[in-house]
Amino acid sequence: SKPIVAIVGRPNVGKSTLFNALAGEKISIVKDYPGVTRDRIYADVTWLDNQFTMIDTGGIEPESKDLMLSHMRQQAQIAIDTADVILFIVDVRQGLVDADYKVADMLRKSAKPVILVVNKVDNFDKFMPDVYEFYNLGIGDPVPVSGASRLGIGDMLDEVINHF
């Protein structure tokens, strides 16, 4: 069966925007338990003859900070349990925050390949200096993208399929 690529990260870092940019129209929503924040959204993606299933683990994300952290742990655990490659999304506009470190710790302890994707880099010249901060997460080289402007997506997908 096809490899699974899971998208994880804090609310508002742009997971769904990136997912939609990659998914086109082939989106399906899967609900495990009604009312529980384990909804996942799946899509089939093809890149350079490689087919994979992408999951946006974010679903409907909670507002409160406490719930947010437990939701993120749940998301990260789903990704660790089910994915072949994990896209860990952070936000160059907001910079590094505590919750990013918490998720990074979980992902680092798993044996799964993790690609650190720095989103909202809408202008590479302007924002590249801010991308280097994310080396502090200890997840490897940050990959700059803009889901909204579709910049850097090809390079990101090249890295994904390198892990298949």
In the complex, the residues that contact Mg ion under the rule CB under 5 A are 15-16, 58
- Shortest Cβ 149–ligand GDP spacing (Å): 6
Q: Does 40 bind ligand GDP (CB under 6 A)?
A: no
Among 119, 152, 157, 160, contact with ligand GDP (rule: CB under 6 A): 119
DSSP 8-class letter at 144: E
Among 44, 84, 122, 133, contact with ligand GDP (rule: CB under 6 A): 122
Please, which of residues 128-147 interact with ligand GDP by CB under 6 A? 146-147
Enumerate the β-bridge partners of residue 85: 5
Q: Which part of the chain contacts ligand GDP (CB under 6 A), choosing from 45-53, 118-126, 129-137, 153-161?
A: 118-126
Number of helices (H) and strands (E) in the chain: give both, helices first: 5, 7
State the Cα–Cα distance between residues 155 and 53, nearest whole angstrom.
18
Q: Which residue has the tokens 């994915």?
A: 83
| Between 12 and 74, CB nearer to ligand GDP | 12
State the Cα–Cα distance between residues 90 and 108, nearest whole angstrom.
15
- Shortest Cβ 147–ligand GDP spacing (Å): 4
Nearest to 118 by CA among 84, 97, 102, 141: 141
Judge whether 126 and 99 are in contact, CB under 8 Å: no
Please, which of residues 51-80 interact with ligand GDP by CB under 6 A? 58, 61
